[in-house]
Amino acid sequence: MIAMSCRNSETYMCREAHLVQKRKGGITLPLCSRPSAPGEITQRSCAFYGARWMLAPLEDAIHIVHGPVGCAYYGGTVRGRSFRVFSTALEEKDIVFGGGKRLIRTLKEAKAIMPHARYIFVYATCSTAIIGDDIDSICKKMEKELGCPVIFVNCPGFKGDSQASGHRIAFESLLNRLIGQGQRTEVGNYDVNIIGDYNINGESMVLKSLLEKMGIRVRCIFTGHADYEGIIAAHRVRLNLLVCQSSGRFLAEALQKRYGIAYLKVTFLGPSQTMASLRKIGQFLGLEREAERVIATGYKAIKPGLDRFLPKLRGKRAALFFGAARMASLIKALDDMGTEVVFTGSQFGDLTTYKETWQTVNPGTYIIDDASEHDLEHLLDELRPDVFMGGIKEQSLSHKFGIGFCLFPQLKCAGPYVGFQGFLNFASSVHNAVYAPVWKFAKLNPNSSPHSADRKPRKSWFSCHCEACPPVPFVPSLQLPGKPGVGRRGGTTEAIS
């Protein structure tokens, strides 16, 4: 379904076509990979932050942000973790006369502070791209002086519709400047790379441990656990394992095309997918028996914990909204819990991501692209899931509706979510969100029916803020004790005694 446009069809897109409901017969995917509508408070971030999202874990490198200090501050925290970053800290006079001299000085100072760094990344930002600083030439000149690769990451924030553009730019920088520059004297039959894992709460180490138990040697993990030596020799392996289909697909396909390295799509969220992935890897490498041994041991270890959590989660309803990574995989992991997904969405998913998601969800499930807070409010108000999973920006919104919340990427205290033990950690987090004692002190509007089958989102909600799409007023239907108020259907909410 094509949305009606207003004023400019490339920019002012009505929100209607960005929301679809899965129905039997035919595939209808949400409109995606488009600029966000002006007036919407988008959560997509920018290409610069997308590049930082990929490259920040490479801690043996120097990272220099060429732009105002605010950009460096923004890119210094990735997935809730602070990383060391240098900034040229451009001021007004540098914007007028150029920031090349500041960049040269910053490169020298950063190298003096980190003399053992093997390589340097220099990130372009909006301001330096607009004024036309010749960053590439400066990087090439300083590379000879500093004696190490100085890699220009051409990622001004406006270069693309979302941070997904920055993901590809980052991997292009690694592919064109580092991968293939080194050789490895020993290449084993069971050497692999992992692409698209970013070591959230030690998840890279969990995957590495699982594969090592099968006799597989993990050479490089892009980019959760990678170093200079591993990156430059990443082309000398037998197999690449693609974990994040959205961010890592470009690199896996490029390595296959350039070096002939096969890749397998795998995921380790939930026991069924973990088992299937281990069996797929074992079949490719001739390690079927080893895979079955690891599966039997891993599942046996978590069985008592699953018997405790899963009966309480069976039949619950969940909603998802985050970046494109792991959307379909997480739906399958929730299916292992017996939890139904009522709506799912992504900030910057593409057609491939949404097609895979469509094939995974049950009929009746809603799928939305680039949702604003206004959109999420109405979906939560109408569908009333038991738990909402998303980024930190959605946490307060979820709690306002009396809905339990699971953070992605998860907090450090939650532990890793991949592998067998990771699924137990995930089930524990969902259980704690759904059954938190605080929900005993909140009461929903008695006129609303949270799980009624006939409650469907009105597509008139999903509109841009132009004259053709008037905003819809919204009143939340949840009130806390001692604060009675008017619910969304005009009924009165009262505190529980």
Instruction: Indicate whether 269 and 316 sit together in one domain.
Output: no
Residue 390 lies in a domain: yes
Q: Are residues 284 and 363 in the same domain?
A: no
Kindly state whether residues 292 and 328 are assigned to the same domain.
Answer: no
In this structure, are 96 and 158 located in the same domain? Answer: yes
Instruction: For residue 496, tell me if it sits in a domain.
Output: no
Residues 286 and 313 in one domain: no
In a domain? residue 186: no
> Of the residues 297, 322, 337, which one is the last residue of a structural domain?
297
Same domain, 109 and 84: yes
- Asked if the structure places residue 138 within a domain, the reply is yes
Name the domain count of the chain: 3
Provide the residue-wise pLDDT of the chain in tens; the chain has 497 residues: 323 333 333 433 456 788 889 988 778 888 787 776 665 556 678 899 999 999 999 999 999 999 999 999 999 999 888 999 999 999 999 999 999 999 999 999 999 999 999 999 999 999 999 999 999 999 999 999 999 999 999 999 999 878 888 999 999 999 999 999 987 667 789 999 999 999 888 899 999 999 999 999 999 999 899 999 999 999 999 999 999 877 888 999 999 999 999 999 999 999 999 999 999 999 999 999 999 999 999 999 999 999 999 999 999 999 999 876 778 899 999 999 999 999 999 888 888 888 889 999 999 999 998 888 888 998 999 999 999 999 888 899 999 888 999 988 877 778 899 999 999 999 999 999 999 988 877 655 444 444 444 444 444 444 444 445 544 444 343 333 333 433 333 333 233 22
Do 144 and 218 lie in one domain? The reply is no
Residue 486 forms part of a structural domain:
no
Residue 6 in any domain: the answer is: no
Structural domain includes residue 346 = yes
Query: Is 475 part of a structural domain of the chain?
Result: no
What is the 3-class SS of the chain, one letter each residue?
CCCCECCCCCCCECHHHHEEECCCCCCCCCCCCCCCCCCCCCCCCCHHHHHHHHHCCCCCEEEEEECCHHHHHHHCEECCEECCCEECCCCHHHHHHCCHHHHHHHHHHHHHHCCCCCEEEEEECHHHHHHCCCHHHHHHHHHHHHCCCEEEECCCCCCCCCHHHHHHHHHHHHHHHCCCCCCCCCCCCCEEEEEEECCHHHHHHHHHHHHHHCCCEEEEEEECECCHHHHHCCCCCCEEEECCHHHHHHHHHHHHHHHCCEEEECCCCCHHHHHHHHHHHHHHHCCHHHHHHHHHHHHHHHHHHHHHHHHHHCCCEEEEEECCCCHHHHHHHHHHHCCEEEEEEECCCCHHHHHHHHHHCCCCCEEEECCCHHHHHHHHHHHCCCEEEECHHHHHHHHHCCCEEEECCCCHHHCCCCHHHHHHHHHHHHHHHHCCHHHHHCEECCCCCCCCCCCCCCHHHCCCCCCCCCCCCCCCCEECCCCCEECCCCCEECCCC
CATH assignment of the domain containing 90: 3.40.50.1980
Whether residue 256 is found in the same domain as residue 337: no
pTM of the model: 0.84
Whether 314 and 446 map to the same domain: the answer is: yes
Residues 203 and 334 in one domain: no
Domain edge (last residue) among 155, 177, 199: 177
Residues 346 and 289 in one domain: no
125 and 258 assigned to the same domain: no
Residue 252: which domain range? 191-297
Q: In the listed set 276, 297, 318, which residue is the last one of a domain according to the structure?
A: 297
